[in-house]
Amino acid sequence: MTAYLLRRLWQMLPTLLGVIILVFFLFNWVGGDPAYILAGKMSNAEQIANIRTQLGIDQPYYVQLGIFIKQIATMDFGSSWSTGESVSSIIKTRMGPSMTILIPLTLLETIIAIALALGIAFIRGSLTDRLIMVACTVGMSISILVYIIVGQYVLAYQWGLFPVQGWGDSLSENLFHFSILPILIALAVSIAPNLRLFRTFVLDEINQDYVRTARAKGLTERRIVWVHVLRNASIPIITYVMSNLPGLLIGAFLIERFFGIPGIGREVILAVERSDFPVIKAITVYVAIATMVFNLLTDLLYQAVDPRVQMK
């Protein structure tokens, strides 16, 4: 196990270096000259030259790349071009509201989708199964904007069950007051595709030979599904869930924007609108690192779920 972990960590280095080089050249070549963006329309050549000197972009590319690598190593990406706030402070303060929404959402949608998929396994091929799949298809066809607008208008504005927008300073207030409606709406959007996918994973396992052997031994259908089928179907489920976890770092763009949640998703949108490159680069690098880390954790979870998986 130790040798495997060391080898995987060593393999992350060239991958991370490739991401760093790609991000660096994309922002330096495709993104345009940031000095012109910061200087604005009413500027002269002297002002632009001063800005380029302050940002260090008048240096050769290899010097700028070295500065970028140093920023990643120290986790210090400087200050935001639009607000002047430290990039690390922006990410730190915006991450909390996003996690308040997305962690409960991820847990709820995963647990509910797995439970429903296993329940459907008992009635597979029936009329109820088909109606549920039709309902999922309809739900997936509706834009998230419709869910947000209807949820805010009916549940929040007309019925007054939840606040339309807002965010407080207390974790308990945010979790049990402001975040309930956003979580419910995001859950309504995500449960349909998750249920369809997890149902496929479960039904694939039900048709395997070991299930027929278990039935021949006299095991009940409930034990077969909830113990044996679930354990084997959990491998692709873990892959799907873990691959989506890095997305937690960039938040839920529309949810945060419409509900006025000061999360990282809304910050990303604002950074793109303002061409705030330091914020965008920092979040891009963080997501890349998180993706590699979660991929490693996925492999470790495989062995925890199924001891037959060998780390080689």
Give pLDDT, residue 298.
87
Structure tokens at 147: 């869910």
pLDDT recorded at residue 42: 66
pLDDT in 10s for each residue of the chain, 312 residues? 677 778 888 888 888 888 888 888 887 776 666 777 677 666 777 777 787 787 777 788 888 888 888 888 888 888 887 788 899 899 889 889 999 999 999 999 999 999 999 999 888 889 999 999 999 999 999 988 899 999 999 999 999 999 998 898 888 999 999 999 999 999 999 999 999 999 999 999 888 888 889 888 888 888 888 888 888 889 899 999 988 888 776 768 889 888 989 988 888 888 888 778 888 888 888 888 888 888 888 888 887 777 676 666
What residue has token string 């990410």? 91
* Global pTM value: 0.84
**For the chain, which residues make up each domain, given as ranges?**
2-74, 87-305
pLDDT at 200: 92
d(CA 17, CA 20): 5
Q: Quote the CA–CA distance of 182 and 194 in Å, as a whole number.
A: 18
d(CA 98, CA 262): 8
First to last CA, the chain: 8
Residues in the chain: 312
**22 Cβ contact partners less than 8 Å away, ≥ 6 residues apart:** none
CATH class given for the domain over 87-305: mainly alpha
pLDDT of residue 215: 87
